[in-house]
Amino acid sequence: MELVPAKTILSKPKDDSWFGNDYNMNLYRGCCHGCIYCDSRSECYHVDDFDRVRLKRGALAILERELASKRKKGVVGVGAMSDTYNPFEREVQATRGALALLGRFGFGVALDTKSPLVLRDIDLIQRIAHKASVNIKITITTADDALSKIIEPHVCPPSERFRAIRELSAAGIFTGVLMAPMLPYITDTEENVKKMVRLAHENGARFIFPMFGVTLRQNQRDYYYRKLDEHFPGLALKYRNVYRSNYYCASPRSRQLRALFQKECGKYHLLYRMQDIVAAYKKKEPSMEQMTFF
């Protein structure tokens, strides 16, 4: 697989508001899952030829050095800029190696993926969970397999992703659904919201975190509109008229959908607020005073 130079693997997020991540980690550059709405292909991230997956050279050695040098342990977010369970990972096993390192150094993990390949690493995720916090988020934007094939062409169908949630939950791993983005005029229906919440519950998810809209910027917007022209004729024009150059494009039905979503989550006792999800999965890290004492 093609390698690209890298100086660092871990980065510090601006704050911990995204699922309480203390660090972020990207082992790969680019993603070949082809989601038409992908934010990571935006110009501001400077990932050339985004659909080509490359591995950062010496990724595990760099990560080991970085983990050993951190004074503060915490939760490492994985999968923000590219799905770490891309098809190459089956052979390359960089993610598997990284999870082993997180476990060895006592760090937690909050991982986003659309691939059931995460099931391969249940043993390592369980090992991490013995000492630290674990949160596995499976991204599912529609419960409709046929529609997913159009908007997320190179990933497995949502039905398979729900099965992955079932297996992770059965293994005692804190798991939930990232229902983001919700595409205006495409996936923003009451039927989809109800089915997503029901399936999350039936498959043992602890939470479902929503976004009732999509973000669009720079070349990501051009790519998205090209795909809309291919699969949903006339819709790109509607977006242009409604959203112009807005960064956040909220579903016109977001208020009703949110109310319905909250009602459905209440029915099944599913968490959906960020602070509740973080409080449920994050173990307390020992304070500096406690560490000094011990």
Positions in the binding site for ligand SF4 (CB under 6 A): 31, 33-35, 38, 40, 82-83, 114
Instruction: Give me the least distance between CB of 189 and ligand SF4, in Å please.
Output: 21
> Which CB sits closer to ligand SF4, 33 or 201?
33
* Cα atoms found within 13 Å of the Cα of residue 127, Cβ hemisphere only: 14
**Token pair belonging to 19:** 């699922």
> Which CB sits closer to ligand SF4, 132 or 183?
183
Contact 167, 205 (CB under 8 A): no
Instruction: Give me the least distance between CB of 201 and ligand SF4, in Å please.
Output: 24
> Which CB sits closer to ligand SF4, 18 or 105?
18
**Token pair belonging to 48:** 């050339």
> Which CB sits closer to ligand SF4, 35 or 270?
35
Instruction: Give me the least distance between CB of 155 and ligand SF4, in Å please.
Output: 6
Instruction: Give me the least distance between CB of 51 and ligand SF4, in Å please.
Output: 8
What's 155's DSSP letter?
Answer: S
Long-range contacts from 45-54, C-beta under 8 angstroms, 24+ separation = 45/81, 47/81, 52/2, 53/1, 53/28, 53/29, 53/82, 53/86, 53/88, 54/1, 54/2, 54/3, 54/4, 54/28, 54/29, 54/30
Gap between the Cα atoms of 102 and 54, Å rounded: 22
Edge-to-edge strand ranges of the sheet holding 134-139: 10-11, 23-25, 75-78, 108-113, 134-139, 175-179, 207-210
Task: Summarize the chain as % helix, strand, coil (round to 5).
Answer: 45, 15, 40
**Token pair belonging to 53:** 């997956």
Instruction: Give me the least distance between CB of 82 and ligand SF4, in Å please.
Output: 5
Instruction: Give me the least distance between CB of 154 and ligand SF4, in Å please.
Output: 8
Instruction: Give me the least distance between CB of 152 and ligand SF4, in Å please.
Output: 6
> Which CB sits closer to ligand SF4, 35 or 197?
35
Instruction: Give me the least distance between CB of 114 and ligand SF4, in Å please.
Output: 5
The residues that bridge with 101 in the sheet, in sequence order, are: none
The enclosing H or E element of 277 equals helix 274-281
> Which CB sits closer to ligand SF4, 113 or 203?
113
**Token pair belonging to 114:** 């659309």
> Which CB sits closer to ligand SF4, 41 or 201?
41
> Which CB sits closer to ligand SF4, 73 or 137?
137
